Amino acid sequence: MATTIAKAAEDATAVTYAARVEHVSKSFPAPGTPGGRQRVLDDIRLDVAPGEFVTLLGASGCGKSTLLNLVAALDQPSTGTIATDGRPALMFQEHALFPWLTAGKNIELALKLSGAAKPERRAEAERLLELVRLQDAHRKRVHELSGGMRQRVALARAPAQDSRLLLMDEPFAALDAITRDVLHDELTRIWSETGLSVLFVTHNVRETVRLAQRVVLLSSRPGRIAREWTVGIPQPRRIEDSAVAEVSVEITEELRGEIRRHGQH
Amino acid sequence: MASTDTGVDTEKDGSTAAEQNRDAYGLVGLEAGLDALDSVQSGRTQLRETLIRKVLPPVTAVALVLIVWQLLVWANVAPDYKLPAPSDVWGEVSDARVQGTLLDYIWTSVSRGLLGFLLALAVGTPLGLLVARVAFVRAAIGPILSGLQSLPSVAWVPPAVIWLGLNDKMMYAVILLGAVPSIANGLVAGIDQIPPLFLRAGRTMGATGLRGAWHIVMPGALPGYLAGLKQGWAFSWRSLMAAEIIASSPDLGVGMGQLLENERNNSSMPQVFLAIFLILLVGIAIDLLIFSPLKRWVLRSRGLLATR
């Protein structure tokens, strides 16, 4: 059995990174108590190596989306520092494609905003659509695409932003199971073809084990890194593989343990 | 189980033999199938259906109004210097057409109205963008701008005459004061309704400042902006008619408002009716020829137009 479950050793020798999160905490004003602060993230330390696929796993309210927003520089940490290799691309649960543009123009806009010259944009957009096997969708409006196709266009838009790091905030949560399964295959394929680093947020343990090289489990309130696993199952994996199931069982147990702690006080 | 994926059997043809090539070929076929099953089919409506659904009802309504009008005339509910027959009004149309003055009246007013509207567009758009995107500006003049919308622009005619005199400048001033608040408010409303997700996506793509305004904010706000433009045109037209009726001078070309006022002085009721109909018709025509097609195009291209 190729499966290895081990606590990831902290790689102190790495000097290059796609993202480096150091001692990051984040507090928001607590509702109800004037002047009070609610700590959402507490002393998070996380490195994403170039080309690495990391998933952030946690129950609701563990601050995993907050952490992703911080890495995307949409918000500032209360303490600590975050460094990324270039501006990361961000993918959401909703596709976030602009409905006033065609699929192709959506990608071309991302290229334009990252400084690509006009003659290249059209060809590059076509190449990226081909990457997600949607070469015929160039002129299609967003509303003419299915949910899965929209997320594939969004997936193709991410490399167009000229970033080495793709942040994904539960991007497949709103899709049906069959489409999600296909998109897992696509994401794995594109990740290995492009060499992008991926930081993927989810609460779905099976999805985590299907995709990740490294799984980071966050505890809730405040979000702290509870445990890490390295998933050694070779890609391509299937969500129904027994090895995936086996690892999922262990991680699920740990996740449930984290959730139970909140019921005890 | 935390997993939501269990128990779903995905259809992968030949999954037993596909151990080595489990990806490429099967995935392509699977994706093609999913795409075909999920894609939205959108078609245009037939011409005949359009005629029955869109043209017939208003034509019926107009015919009914004409019939009732004619019946009232036949029943002699009012003397004919108060209520002229439809045929008398139509007679005025052909008279004015023979004299070639009808198009002059219309052109004088429409050219004023459209030019004034374009000026209002040039002023109202940056103003709306500022109010929507700069918190201080919004707090400072947002309420005033909303309040100005409810101020009838006729109120501006007397001061405009004193400040600018009886000329075209005064007309444009009144149109601007009437239309700018509508256009600016429409844009503000449109910007407020942009899903925050688009703004976040735009920011992660590097669309900030003016680039963000051009690529994300303006196109995102377009439906609300168009509604503001439509209302802005209505206000332009109303303001202009008010100005033309109140401020008449031989120096000013005769527009439709002046026509109405002149014929009231002449106690020529068919001509007064004619002027009112023309004013109404121009308003409807501009809306039907410019704003409705624009709005339909925007909504259709975004998939927001319900086909039924």
Say which of A99, A189, A239 has its CB closest to residue B302. Answer: A99
| Alpha carbon of A64: minimum distance to chain B alpha carbons (Å) | 17
What does the pLDDT read at residue B303?
Answer: 81
Backbone angles phi, psi at A26, to 5 degrees: -140, 130
**Average confidence (pLDDT) over B277-291:** 90
Quick one: angle between helices B256-265 and B269-286, nearest 10? 170
Say which of B10, B215, B302 has its CB closest to residue A143. Answer: B302
Q: CB A204 to CB B215 under 8 A?
A: no
Tell me the pLDDT tens digit for each residue of B50-79.
888 888 898 999 999 999 999 999 998 888
The rounded distance, in Å, linking the Cα atoms of A136 and A144 is: 12
Assess contact for B256 and B282: CB atoms under 8 A: yes
Give the length of chain A: 265
Assess contact for A223 and A231: CB atoms under 8 A: no
Under DSSP, is residue B7 helix (H, G, I), strand (E, B) or coil? Answer: coil
Say which of B30, B39, B302 has its CB closest to residue A182. Answer: B30
Per-residue buried b or exposed e for A238-263, using 16+ beta carbons within 10 Å of the residue's own CB: bbbbebbeebbeebbebbeebbeeee
* Residue of B111, B236, B256, B249 whose CA lies nearest to B176: B236
The rounded distance, in Å, linking the Cα atoms of B305 and B154 is: 36
The rounded distance, in Å, linking the Cα atoms of B214 and B285 is: 31
What does the pLDDT read at residue B60?
Answer: 93
* Residue of B255, B3, B230, B250 whose CA lies nearest to B105: B255
**Average confidence (pLDDT) over B174-195:** 93
Tokens of B189: 């409303």
Under DSSP, is residue A215 helix (H, G, I), strand (E, B) or coil? Answer: strand
Assess contact for B154 and B144: CB atoms under 8 A: no
| Rg, chain A, Cα only | 19
Identify all chain A residues contacting B11, using CB atoms and an 8 Å cutoff: 178
Structural domains of chain A sorted by starting position, each given as residue range(s) with its CATH number in brackets: 1-88+168-265 (3.40.50.300), 98-162 (no CATH)
What does the pLDDT read at residue A14?
Answer: 43
CB-based contacts of A263: which residues, under 8 Å, 6+ apart? Answer: none
Q: CB A149 to CB B200 under 8 A?
A: no
Q: What percent of chain B has pLDDT over 90?
A: 36
Q: CB A146 to CB B37 under 8 A?
A: yes
The rounded distance, in Å, linking the Cα atoms of B165 and B159 is: 9
**A95: nearest CA in chain B?**
B197
Q: CB B42 to CB A144 under 8 A?
A: yes
Q: CB A98 to CB B219 under 8 A?
A: yes
What does the pLDDT read at residue B41?
Answer: 61
CB-based contacts of A118: which residues, under 8 Å, 6+ apart? Answer: A112
What does the pLDDT read at residue B25?
Answer: 45
Say which of A89, A206, A255 has its CB closest to residue B204. Answer: A89
The rounded distance, in Å, linking the Cα atoms of B166 and A209 is: 79
Say which of A142, A178, A256 has its CB closest to residue B34. Answer: A178
Q: Which residues pair with A198 in a beta bridge?
A: A53, A166
Q: What percent of chain A has pLDDT over 70?
A: 94
Question: What was the ipTM of the complex prediction?
Answer: 0.78
Q: Could you check whether the bond before residue A222 is cis, i.e. omega within 30 degrees of 0?
A: yes
Tell me the pLDDT tens digit for each residue of B8-41.
344 334 333 333 344 444 677 777 777 777 766 6
**Average confidence (pLDDT) over B270-284:** 89
Identify all chain A residues contacting B4, using CB atoms and an 8 Å cutoff: 177, 204, 206
Q: Which residues pair with A167 in a beta bridge?
A: A90, A199
* Residue of B84, B125, B77, B140 whose CA lies nearest to B268: B84
The rounded distance, in Å, linking the Cα atoms of B53 and A165 is: 53
Identify all chain B residues contacting A161, using CB atoms and an 8 Å cutoff: 204-206
| Alpha carbon of B52: minimum distance to chain A alpha carbons (Å) | 28
**Average confidence (pLDDT) over A100-117:** 90
**Average confidence (pLDDT) over B215-243:** 91
* Residue of A88, A97, A224, A237 whose CA lies nearest to A164: A88
Tell me the pLDDT tens digit for each residue of B93-151.
888 776 778 888 889 899 999 999 999 999 999 999 999 989 999 999 989 998 888 88
- Name which of A100, A161, A191 to mutate to probe chain B: the one with the most chain B Cβ atoms within 10 A of its Cβ: A100
* Residue of A103, A189, A110, A111 whose CA lies nearest to A146: A103
Q: CB A94 to CB B197 under 8 A?
A: yes
Q: CB A143 to CB B3 under 8 A?
A: no
The rounded distance, in Å, linking the Cα atoms of A43 and A225 is: 8
Q: In terms of CATH architecture, what is B92-301? A: Orthogonal Bundle (1.10)
What residues does each domain of chain B span?
A: 48-79, 92-301
What does the pLDDT read at residue B45?
Answer: 66
Say which of B3, B203, B216 has its CB closest to residue A206. Answer: B3
| Alpha carbon of B206: minimum distance to chain A alpha carbons (Å) | 6
What does the pLDDT read at residue A7?
Answer: 36
Tell me the pLDDT tens digit for each residue of A147-189.
888 988 998 888 888 788 899 998 888 888 888 888 888 899 8
Q: CB A133 to CB B31 under 8 A?
A: yes
Name the region of A198 (left: φ>0; alpha: ψ -120 to 50; beta: rest): beta
User: How would residue B307 be classed by pLDDT, with cut points 50, 70 and 90?
Assistant: low
What does the pLDDT read at residue B42?
Answer: 57
The rounded distance, in Å, linking the Cα atoms of B9 and B233 is: 58
**Average confidence (pLDDT) over B235-244:** 90
Torsion of the alpha carbons at B197, B203, B205 and B211, rounded to the nearest 10: 120
Backbone angles phi, psi at A94, to 5 degrees: -90, 150
Assess contact for B153 and B178: CB atoms under 8 A: yes
Identify all chain B residues contacting A88, using CB atoms and an 8 Å cutoff: 204
Of the listed ranges A3-17, A156-170, B279-293, the least confidently predicted one is A3-17
